[in-house]
Chains A and B, each alone.
Chain A
Amino acid sequence: MPEPTPDAVPPVGADGNRDLDRYAEGSLEPGLVVAQANLYVSAVESGGEGTRRVGRGLGIGAWLAIGWLAFIVIVAVLAQLGVLPLKDPNRSYVSCARRGPFSTDGTASGFLLGCDSNGRDMIARLAYGSWSSLIVATGAVLFGLVFGGTFGLIAGYFGRRTDAVITSLFNVFLAIPAVVLALALVAFLAGAAASTGRSSVDPKLILILAIGIVSIPLLGRITRASALSWSQREFVLAARAQGAKPVRIMLREVLPNVLPAMFSITLLGIAVAIVAEGTLSILGVGVRPPTPSWGNIIGLDRGRLKESPHIIFLPALMIFFTVLSLNFLGDVVRARLDVRESAV
């Protein structure tokens, strides 16, 4: 006889108890395991319906993070489009140079956040700089995700020798200090661009490639781990039994399940890439001045921390809040991945 129509019920199989035990963290009380079954899972075990899918509120932290990121992105885009009433980020107001909040030279009227050592308006530079920083970080991570994700998916799905080869390549890359690798890549790519007569190549593109290549093994390994565990599920075997080709299985069966993990790591990755861009800029190989980025604002005036702290701290704060928001959201996304599915 057919069962009644389903109504958003979590799957409660005969293995409900096993699930309970799996989640019950066993702290070994001598003589028996104290099953600290969390109540959420207990509810699942006891057939509590609809508990899993009920939307859990995001919480104020996540909304603050989303708000900040939305603000930064909107400012970056609008500044780039030139619709914001900002001063020219490259125009020097010599009288205001180095002046700003907490500066030993005092504040400059008309410049809310002061100016940098060349007398350029900090607000304008931060706003335009956010475009550079975000585009480099996002671009780099997307680049790393496409290549790292593809390699990771292939390694995780095929396993065996393919996996061994790809994983060792990842490991070789991971063994090289990231900053050194990125520096070398920037030098190499810039040289390559110059030698082929394309010296007009946007330096941001070179940065995207350099940071992107560095991020491939990191993103690839995470994709591989997730793909490996999903590839061992029986629905993948079922697809093979139906005659699906490997590419179809990877794209239709494995990838959709790996995507949430990849999304969560993308957010964290962008955060890391923003810091990486900043680091490279401070080392003098980042976004090329006069185009501002958060990193090169700091890098240009890194010697003036004492007399004009605002020049260093303002972009640092931008990086801080953006990275914090991304990390926080990354964790929220990861926590919201289906508990049962990620616990495989």
Chain B
Amino acid sequence: MTVPVAEPTAEPVPGAPLLEVTDLTTHFATPGGIVRAVDGVSLTLERGKTLGIVGESGSGKTVLSRSIMGLLPKRGTIRGGSVRFDGVELMTRSPKEMRDFWGARMAMIFQDPMTSLNPVMKIGKQITESIRHHLDVDREYATELAVNLLRSVRIPEPERRLRDYPHQLSGGMRQRVCIAVALACGPALLFADEPTTALDVTVQAQVLDLMAAQQRERFMAIVLITHDLGVVAGRADEIAVMYAGRIVEKAPTSVLFTQTRMPYTKALLSSIPKLEHPSHSRLATIPGRPPNLVAPPAGCKFAPRCAQAQPRCLEEDPPLVPGVVPGHEYRCWFPVGTPEGDDALARNQAAGTTAIAGGAA
């Protein structure tokens, strides 16, 4: 099930990166076949850094985060590869052992705060429970900590809010409470799965600022999962773009935007409406839709929708290759911004078709 690993140890290994994921696969057995939701993902994250994971629905970004945390149900889930947290292998651990990590050392916040808060339990109890579970403290001290936490996530009148139920708070306030719950035990790693997608744009800015402030204060690493390149552009140190269960391009943030190599990343970027463009400007689109993860295409998974796809792309699966800048990797035979890529695009445009003869249309 996993690659050979050293004898599992609970002790952190000095010098190891905080999170080291190697060749992680997560497949689901369904009546329709094996769904390859995550298909060979490797990534590393250092303490205090932010990794943005960007992808559209069905790209596997949510499954990836849950698989790393070991939050998926055992039944029907096939996981492979290695996940090392602080040098400790997590893949071989039982959910019972994982409980020592969850909340205390790695925590997660979700898109819809309402689903992660218990609707019939007061805010205060939800926070103090977590604190008292992991830290051996009495009720008064836990309450005091909870008030401080709520204050640190900038919730006004924290003492009064402790006695509120989740439905009495606004969406933004609820997400702050979720962040407070997640931060309660000072985790070293925070997974934020579309934390602001359900929020209004001004509230989104408040929540993202809050997360950044907490990160600086606690030297915490964040995995920020989103569909919105705008959200990660200003916030992440490094961005991984996912498509069909794989990382198709990964780079330090500025490099990803300035030296985009993967056509999918480029297409995604150019399909976003930009404020600086005049109104009624035509948007670039990506034809077709993501592949079936039960029977993905043979070659490059993006080839059927790619403007510069060549016959080779349909046959051979491109590996993740390093770019010029350290830390930049991409999967493409004819990368954007290289002579090969420009050639391929020009050829397709001249022929008025792509490698699949306009099949996407």
- Contact partners of A14 in chain B: CB under 8 A: 56-57, 227
**Contact in complex: A46, B103 (CB < 8 Å):** no
Task: Check A201 for interface membership: any CB of B closer than 8 A.
Answer: no
CB distance from A50 to the nearest CB of B (A): 4
Please report which residues of chain A, range 7-53, place their CB below 8 angstroms from some CB of chain B when the two chains form the complex. 9, 12-18, 20-22, 24, 26, 28-40, 42-43, 45-51
**Contact in complex: B30, A40 (CB < 8 Å):** yes
Task: Check A177 for interface membership: any CB of B closer than 8 A.
Answer: no
Distance, CA A13 to CA B57, complexed state (A) = 7
**Given A31-B102, A51-B32: A17 and B77 within 8 A (CB)?**
no
**Contact in complex: A21, B110 (CB < 8 Å):** yes
Task: Check A197 for interface membership: any CB of B closer than 8 A.
Answer: no
**Given A2-B361, A3-B287, A14-B227: A49 and B57 within 8 A (CB)?**
no
CB distance from A105 to the nearest CB of B (A): 56
Please report which residues of chain B, range 56-75, place their CB below 8 angstroms from some CB of chain A when the two chains form the complex. 56-60, 62-63, 66, 71-73, 75
Q: Looking at the complex, which one of A4, A16, A30, A48 makes contact with B360 (CB distance below 8 Å)?
A: A4
Task: Check A161 for interface membership: any CB of B closer than 8 A.
Answer: no
Task: Check A1 for interface membership: any CB of B closer than 8 A.
Answer: yes
CB distance from B288 to the nearest CB of A (A): 6
- Contact partners of A9 in chain B: CB under 8 A: 292
CB distance from A38 to the nearest CB of B (A): 6
**Contact in complex: A32, B63 (CB < 8 Å):** no
**Given A21-B111, A21-B115, A32-B116: A47 and B58 within 8 A (CB)?**
yes
Total interface residues on B, using CB and 8 Å?
66
Distance, CA A313 to CA B294, complexed state (A) = 54
**Contact in complex: B103, A56 (CB < 8 Å):** no
Task: Check B46 for interface membership: any CB of A closer than 8 A.
Answer: no
- Contact partners of B102 in chain A: CB under 8 A: 29, 31-32, 34
**Contact in complex: A18, B182 (CB < 8 Å):** no
**Given A1-B361, A17-B194, A37-B73: A47 and B57 within 8 A (CB)?**
yes
- Contact partners of A36 in chain B: CB under 8 A: 73
CB distance from A198 to the nearest CB of B (A): 57
Please report which residues of chain B, range 273-307, place their CB below 8 angstroms from some CB of chain A when the two chains form the complex. 285, 287-294
Distance, CA A17 to CA B65, complexed state (A) = 12
Task: Check B108 for interface membership: any CB of A closer than 8 A.
Answer: yes
**Given A37-B66, A38-B73: A43 and B99 within 8 A (CB)?**
no
Write the chain A residue with the least CB distance to B67.
Answer: A42
- Contact partners of B194 in chain A: CB under 8 A: 17
**Contact in complex: B133, A31 (CB < 8 Å):** yes
- Contact partners of B294 in chain A: CB under 8 A: 48-50
Write the chain B residue with the least CB distance to A16.
Answer: B57
- Contact partners of B309 in chain A: CB under 8 A: none
Most chain A beta-carbon contacts within 10 A, residue among B30, B59, B111, B197: B30
Write the chain A residue with the least CB distance to B99.
Answer: A29
Task: Check A54 for interface membership: any CB of B closer than 8 A.
Answer: yes
CB distance from B349 to the nearest CB of A (A): 15
Task: Check B236 for interface membership: any CB of A closer than 8 A.
Answer: no
Cβ contacts A204-238/B at 8 Å (1 or 0 each): 00000000000000000000000000000000000
Task: Check B130 for interface membership: any CB of A closer than 8 A.
Answer: yes
Distance, CA A317 to CA B184, complexed state (A) = 59
CB distance from A125 to the nearest CB of B (A): 46
CB distance from B77 to the nearest CB of A (A): 6
Write the chain B residue with the least CB distance to A50.
Answer: B32
Total interface residues on A, using CB and 8 Å?
41
Q: Looking at the complex, which one of B133, B292, B360 makes contact with A49 (CB distance below 8 Å)?
A: B292
- Contact partners of B197 in chain A: CB under 8 A: 17
Distance, CA A32 to CA B182, complexed state (A) = 6
**Contact in complex: A31, B32 (CB < 8 Å):** no
**Given A21-B112, A30-B103, A43-B28: A35 and B66 within 8 A (CB)?**
yes
**Contact in complex: B130, A31 (CB < 8 Å):** yes
**Contact in complex: A32, B103 (CB < 8 Å):** yes
Cβ contacts B68-104/A at 8 Å (1 or 0 each): 0001110111000000000000000000000100111
Cβ contacts A77-105/B at 8 Å (1 or 0 each): 00000000000000000000000000000
**Given A2-B361, A43-B37: A24 and B115 within 8 A (CB)?**
yes
Distance, CA A35 to CA B32, complexed state (A) = 23
**Contact in complex: B76, A39 (CB < 8 Å):** yes
Task: Check B47 for interface membership: any CB of A closer than 8 A.
Answer: no
**Given A26-B116, A33-B110, A49-B32: A17 and B56 within 8 A (CB)?**
no
Distance, CA A2 to CA B288, complexed state (A) = 7
**Given A2-B361, A17-B193, A50-B32: A32 and B57 within 8 A (CB)?**
no
CB distance from B151 to the nearest CB of A (A): 19
CB distance from B159 to the nearest CB of A (A): 21
**Contact in complex: A16, B58 (CB < 8 Å):** yes
**Given A38-B73, A47-B293: A18 and B361 within 8 A (CB)?**
no
Besides A32-B181, A35-B110, A46-B245, 12 other A-B contacts (C-beta < 8 A): A17-B62, A21-B116, A30-B130, A31-B102, A31-B133, A31-B181, A33-B110, A33-B116, A39-B72, A39-B76, A47-B58, A48-B293
A-B contact pairs, 20 of them (CB 8 A): A1-B285, A17-B193, A22-B115, A28-B118, A28-B121, A30-B129, A30-B132, A31-B184, A32-B102, A32-B103, A35-B66, A36-B73, A37-B72, A39-B73, A43-B28, A46-B28, A47-B292, A48-B32, A49-B293, A54-B32
Chain B interface residues toward A at CB < 8 A = 28-33, 35, 37, 56-60, 62-63, 66, 71-73, 75-77, 99, 102-104, 107-108, 110-112, 115-116, 118, 121, 126, 129-134, 181-182, 184-185, 187, 193-194, 197-198, 227, 244-245, 285, 287-294, 359-361
Chain A interface residues toward B at CB < 8 A = 1-4, 9, 12-18, 20-22, 24, 26, 28-40, 42-43, 45-51, 54, 56
